[in-house]
Structures are given as structure tokens and as C-alpha cells.
Structure 1
Amino acid sequence: MNSITPVLDLHCDTITNGLGRHYDLADGIARFDLGKIPDEFRWCQTCAIFIPDEYRGQAAVEYYERALEHFQRQLELYPQRIGQARTMTQAEALLEEGKTAAILSVEGGAALGGRLEMVQKLWDDGVRMMTLTWNGENEIGGGAATDQGLKDFGVEVIREMERLGMLVDVSHLNEKTFWQVVEKSEKPFLATHSNSRKVWDHRRNLTDDQFRALAERGGIVGINFCREFLAGDPDPTAEQMVRHIWHFLELGGEQCVSLGSDSDGAIMPSFLDSLSGVAVLRDAMLQSGLGEELTGKILYGNARDFLRRTLG
């Protein structure tokens, strides 16, 4: 793409945020807004339908359906600017056309309403990855704020997801649930928006052992831009963010590190308040000694290769 820099971001909450606040993808309100993507970038964005923990059962299913309708409306409103990709091949074709590629995901398996057949429904809707829980407990298992592990229904869900090809996302799991997923799953899985707990000790970040297990399975991690998960400082710097990247690389993660911004679902450092901040992050990565090739892999190539292998 010549001087154009491709970016693949594994997680944002813009669809659900837009549903709740009644805005569209080009209203100029969201951080991930079609009008705010700098000309130097081509953008592939995984858009999550986030299910808040207060929704369970049929209420969660209905919430998912409302958010799905909002997502589909965005595609209808801006067909010349964004398209849905169900495979990485489709995403790359959209980028080549100069469009933004949107991959649909779900954050919170409560969206299933406790019904296994809903996994097929989500797959047919184009959902290609699902975070099993948010912070609380749902029908699948326990999130980061609980000590509940993986439930029997959760094991069934993982098997059905893997049968279909839907990716299991372990961000937001507690350690007990995480290791049970490692035991019960067979295919590569990912953590779409999680950082290093060694660099900053937060329950939402991954331990070194968790990262190694994910990498050994052929998975990938998206670095989260949320201030709370980066450092104890009120406004972390790009250099502090790069420390998470370097630590994962030191654990052997050259093929396993990517971006998972959590845009419109978290408070960002000031240098990342807009999408142009990714250029600041890119420069900080280069200045840290990562080099052009590895920086490009973290911005785009690693996630592209992972999704090529898993989604086609």
C-alpha cells in the first residue's frame, strides 16, 4: 500500500457505545469514527457487541439483537467507507478498496442467553470471536471480578465455537477460568485486549505463564490502551505502553503481539485520545529499537496472519 500504514485493532466498544448514546460511526463523537481515521492509515477494526453484566437470559439476547441492528445500520449508512468482513481475505480486499474493514465480535457470552444454539446464530450474523465473559459471572463461567470457574455450559460453548471456527477470547477471564479454557479448548485462542501483569499488576492483565500458554497454542494478544491497565500513572506515556510490548516480546511473543485498543470502552492516555495517536505509538515503538518490520507486525501483520490462519 506504498506509504499507507495498515492497522488491525482487535477490540473496540464503539457499536454498543453508539447504541446507548444514539450516534453513528461518522457523527464525530466516537474515538473510532470513520471521519477520524488519518489518511496515512488503512484500518481494520474488530467491533464488539458488549453485553453489560446486568443483562442475562433473554434480556441479554434482546440487547445483542439491538446492538446488531445498530451495527448493520452503520454498514447501510456508509457503504462506500466501511464493510463487514467475515474472513481476513475479505478484510484485506476492503482495505485494498480504500475502505475500513469491520470484523464483528461479542464481548460477554451472556449474549447466548444460556442457549447453545445461539452460537450458530451469532456465527451466521458474522460474529467471528467472542469474549466468554465480562468481569462478572454468566452462564459460561466467571470473569475477572469473580472466583467462579468454567461451567459445564461453557465447555459446550467452547466446543461449538471451535466446531464453527469462532475464536475464543480470554480477555476478562479470571485465572481459574483461563486455565480451564486452556485445558478444554483445542484450537488457538486470543486475548483481544489485555496487557502484561508483570509490567503492571492488574487483574485484567495476563501473567507470564498465561501469555506463554496462549503463545504456545498459536494465539495472539492485543495490547489494551486503557490507562488503568497500562501503569499506575494517571496519564501513561507511549513509552510506558511500549514496555508491555517489549515484555511480551522477551517471552517469545514476536508473532503474538498486536493491538486491542478498547476504544470507546475505556479512558485512553492523552496521546491516544484520537486515532492519530497510533502514529505516536508507532514512533515510540521505533525509537525503542523495535525496527520497522517488527513494528509493522505489531500494528497489523501479526493479527492479519493469525486471522488468515483461523478465519481464512
Structure 2
Amino acid sequence: MTMDLIRTVCLMLCAFTVNSIANELKDRALKLMAETPLIDGHNDLPWQLRNKFNNQLNETNLYTLNSTHTNIPKIKAGHLSAQFWAAYVPCDTQYKDAVRQTLEQIDVIHRMCQKYPEVFTFAASSQDIEDAFKQNKTACLIGVEGGHSIDSSLGTLRLMYQLGVRYLTLTHSCNTPWVDNWLVDTDSETAVHDGLSEFGKQVVFEMNRIGMLVDLAHVSEKVMKQVLEISKAPIIFSHSSAYSICPHKRNVPDDVLREVKNKNGIVMINFYNDYVTCQKAANLSHVADHFDHIKKVAGSSIIGFGGDYDGVPRVPDGLEDVSKYPDLVIELLRRGWTDDEIKDALGRNLLRVFREVERVRDSLNGVTPDDVPIPLKEVQNPCRTNYGYPDTQSSACTPSLYPLVLALTLLTKILV
């Protein structure tokens, strides 16, 4: 009986100790999140609003919406202080109505913030994020996901900035007329520009000039290195993970991580299972492995959160929705991360990058906007007019040309 009693007491003491440590880590995590804004780099809720409601916000309620990773109660439980909402439209809009579709996604983000002013406040600067945090509101920022959304137009890029867009992902999963996407590294798509074209470099420089963050998620490895070399401002990966942990071409290789460190940028870690474990299954611990690896290779100063919620079909066990961010912070603390390292990853790194992008913008205040258009031969297609280009005749989508193009396309398919 004595041994059984001793065993029972030991088990009780062990359970009490484990529970006490867990409570201590949770309290510590919540305290850090109360002191530092959690800034997430990428959330696709706006695309879910398009898919489910055709952007009719009157048809839904973000307090009660339960078919998404993101709603207002989950945001509050997750202590999400600032979110870059993705103004994403698919690659099949390229050369068609990508600009219109993207403007509608920018609009729905603005309207979402306006509909719930007690929760959200629109943000267009690093200071706006800090002000929102002091007001206990979630700052809403906009990132356009995919260079096809600007239709190879610097004027469109500038106007999107005026509408509040603060980052552009140079590609999604398709090449544009000026930059190659990540699929060229898988050999499932052919490289067209050997990375960035000359116009692609113009886009990067103009983003530096106006103060828009350059996002390298979704680009080829060659583009990553080219942009890191030429950009005057730090870059971001808004939702990418570590290639050495999961060798998926959407992730960031170690040599690029080190260069991101050299250029004071940030990699905001993606939670999509396929990028976390390169398998359909993953858990919270696997995501923490990416945090640990990037810290080991390049330090905690380049790490952020880029969950990709509502943009992916699978997320890890333990990170089922945006309410689960504190659990990931707890896991990092359990692994020995210091308070300062946690605060860096939560938001201080992104704020530092954002401020530097703004500083570069201000330093280029006297530089005039780039108004050299992309060469016509690089964008000419049956549904694009040519107005403004010298010695050309606009014939895009005219009754005489389009059927000819269609017939030639069909004939080619038949002959092949």
C-alpha cells in the first residue's frame, strides 16, 4: 500500500508540475501578444467572400460565419493585431479582366473594414498598425497577390498604391509578361524571362519609389536572388516556409534566407501542410520546426507569421484557424525562444521592414514616376488595345481579327 501511495503522489505531483508549466507558458505568451502586435502577412478571406457571396457583404456576418478559417471571434481569440488581406484573383484573369477583378477585391477589403469599425481599422503605414494596436483594433492592410493584377502597367501599380495596397506579390502561379513564377523551378512551366525582364526591374524600382513592399512569395529562385540584389528596400516573403525542412519550390532555400538577412528583409512562415511537411498531414510542431530552422540559419530578425489561412485546403493539426496563434507562440516558448525573439517574430520584424520601405520611399521623393511603358511586343495579344504606342493600329478583339486567331488556334490543335 505504501508503494502505491508513493506512486500516486508522484503522479499527482508530476501532473501538477506539467499543468503549472503549461499555464505559465500560456500566461507568458498572452502577455507578449498584449505587448507586441501580431502581424500576419497573408490571409485569403476576401477570396472566400468572392467565392461564397460574390462579395455581397450584406449576405454574410463575420461574427457568425463558420465555414472559413477566419471570422471575428477567431480573430479576437487569436490576438490578431494586423492582417495583410490578399486582394487575389486567379491567373486565368490575366490578359482579360484581372485589373477589374482585383479592384473589386480591394473594394471588398475596404468595405469589410467599414462594416465592422468596432473591430477593424484600415491601415496604410507602419504607424497605422501601431495606432490600431493601441486602440485594441485589428489593422487591415492590403496585399495584391500576383503581378498579373497590374496588367503590366506602372500607372495601375501606382493607382493601387493610392487605394491602399501596400505589397505586390510579383507573381502567383503563372508567368507574367515581365517575371517568372515558381513553377519554372519544377519544370512544369517554361521560364520566359530568365527571371526578371527589363520591365520587371522597372516594376521593382517603381515599388521602391512609391513605398510598396516587394513580395517574393510565388516567384522563381532566380527572381528571388535578382530582386534581393537590385531592390533599394528590404523585401518580404508574405507566406513562404523553409526549403530545407520541406523541399517544395514555394519555400525559401537557405542561401536565400541568408541573403534576406543581409538585406534586412523578412520571411513570414506559411502554415499550408504541403509547404510544411511536403505531405497532406502536418501539425503545429512541424510549423515550429520551420521557425527554428530559419532562426538557426539567419536569426530571429527575419521571421514573421504568414498563415495563408482561407487560401489553402489543408492546415496543420493544432493550427486549425486564426484563433490558434497563441498555441504556436506557446510552442516556441517551450522550445526556448526568448521574449525578444518572440516579439520580433510577432510583429517587430515586419514593422522594421515596413519603416525602412517608407524611409526609402521618402528618400526618393524627388524622383519622378517611371512612365516608360512595357514594349508592345511583350504584351500584345488579341484582347489588348494598342493606343499610345507609335506606328501601330489597335485591333484587339475586333470582329475581323479574333475569329482568325481562334481558327488558327483550333487548327493548330487539330494538326498536333
- TM-score bracket, normalised by the shorter chain, equals over 0.9
Instruction: Indicate the structure (1 or 2) with the bigger Cα radius of gyration.
Output: 2
Q: Distance in 1 between matches of 2:202 and 2:355?
A: 25
**Alpha carbons of 1:64 and 1:237: their partners in 2 closer, same or farther (altered >3 Å)?**
same
Q: Is the 2:39–2:350 Cα contact (8 Å) retained in structure 1?
A: yes
Which is further off, 130-139 or 144-153? 144-153
Q: Distance in 1 between matches of 2:227 and 2:339?
A: 35
- 1:176-198 deviations in Å (ceiling 9; x for gaps): 22222223322211111111101
Q: Distance in 1 between matches of 2:77 and 2:32?
A: 10
2:47 aligns with 16
2:102 aligns with 64
User: Displacement of 1:231 after TM fit?
Assistant: 0.6
2:246 aligns with 200
- Write the letter of the residue equivalent to 1:154: G
Paired residue for 2:263, among 175, 199, 217? 217
1:86 aligns with 124
2:217 aligns with 171
- Write the letter of the residue equivalent to 1:126: G
Runs of 4+ that moved beyond 6 A: none
User: Displacement of 1:311 after TM fit?
Assistant: 3.6
User: Is 2:233 the counterpart of 1:187?
Assistant: yes
Q: Distance in 2 between matches of 1:60 and 1:233?
A: 32
- 1:189-213 deviations in Å (ceiling 9; x for gaps): 1111111101111000000111111
User: Displacement of 1:2 after TM fit?
Assistant: 5.9
Q: Distance in 2 between matches of 1:159 and 1:129?
A: 13
Q: Distance in 2 between matches of 1:159 and 1:84?
A: 26
Q: Distance in 2 between matches of 1:133 and 1:40?
A: 29
User: Is 2:111 the counterpart of 1:73?
Assistant: yes
2:345 aligns with 298
Q: Distance in 1 between matches of 2:350 and 2:257?
A: 16
Paired residue for 2:318, among 271, 278, 286? 271
Q: Which runs of 5+ in 2 are unaligned?
A: 1-29, 54-59, 185-190, 360-416
- 1:113-157 deviations in Å (ceiling 9; x for gaps): 121111110110011111000011113311111233212221111
Q: Which runs of 5+ in 1 are unaligned?
A: none
User: Displacement of 1:244 after TM fit?
Assistant: 1.0
**Alpha carbons of 1:232 and 1:180: their partners in 2 closer, same or farther (altered >3 Å)?**
closer
- Write the letter of the residue equivalent to 2:228: V
Which is further off, 160-169 or 8-17? 8-17
User: Displacement of 1:58 after TM fit?
Assistant: 4.8
Q: Is the 1:15–1:71 Cα contact (8 Å) retained in structure 2?
A: yes
More helix per residue: 1 or 2? 2
User: Displacement of 1:75 after TM fit?
Assistant: 1.8
User: Displacement of 1:42 after TM fit?
Assistant: 4.6
User: Displacement of 1:237 after TM fit?
Assistant: 2.0
Q: Distance in 2 between matches of 1:166 and 1:302?
A: 16
- 1:11-35 deviations in Å (ceiling 9; x for gaps): 1111122122115644423322222
- 1:263-297 deviations in Å (ceiling 9; x for gaps): 11012112111222112111111111113331232
SS at match of 1:300: helix
User: Is 2:153 the counterpart of 1:107?
Assistant: no
**Alpha carbons of 1:205 and 1:15: their partners in 2 closer, same or farther (altered >3 Å)?**
same
Q: Is the 1:32–1:264 Cα contact (8 Å) retained in structure 2?
A: yes
Q: Distance in 2 between matches of 1:242 and 1:122?
A: 35
Q: Distance in 2 between matches of 1:78 and 1:9?
A: 19
Q: Distance in 1 between matches of 2:159 and 2:64?
A: 30
2:38 aligns with 7
Q: Distance in 1 between matches of 2:198 and 2:125?
A: 30
Q: Distance in 1 between matches of 2:346 and 2:171?
A: 26
TM-score (structure 1 length as normaliser):
0.94
- 1:75-96 deviations in Å (ceiling 9; x for gaps): 2211121011011111111121
SS at match of 1:202: coil
User: Displacement of 1:106 after TM fit?
Assistant: 0.5
% identity of equivalent residues? 26
SS at match of 2:173: coil
- Write the letter of the residue equivalent to 2:277: A
More strand per residue: 1 or 2? 1
SS at match of 1:179: helix
Q: Is the 2:126–2:355 Cα contact (8 Å) retained in structure 1?
A: yes
Q: Is the 1:51–1:63 Cα contact (8 Å) retained in structure 2?
A: yes
- 1:55-107 deviations in Å (ceiling 9; x for gaps): 11351101111112211211221112101101111111112112110111100
Q: Distance in 2 between matches of 1:58 and 1:109?
A: 14
1:281 aligns with 328
Q: Distance in 2 between matches of 1:92 and 1:200?
A: 34
SS at match of 1:276: helix
1:47 aligns with 85
Q: Distance in 2 between matches of 1:280 and 1:8?
A: 16
Which is further off, 247-256 or 193-202? 247-256
**Alpha carbons of 1:40 and 1:274: their partners in 2 closer, same or farther (altered >3 Å)?**
closer
Q: Distance in 2 between matches of 1:268 and 1:39?
A: 18
SS at match of 1:159: helix
- Write the letter of the residue equivalent to 1:203: K
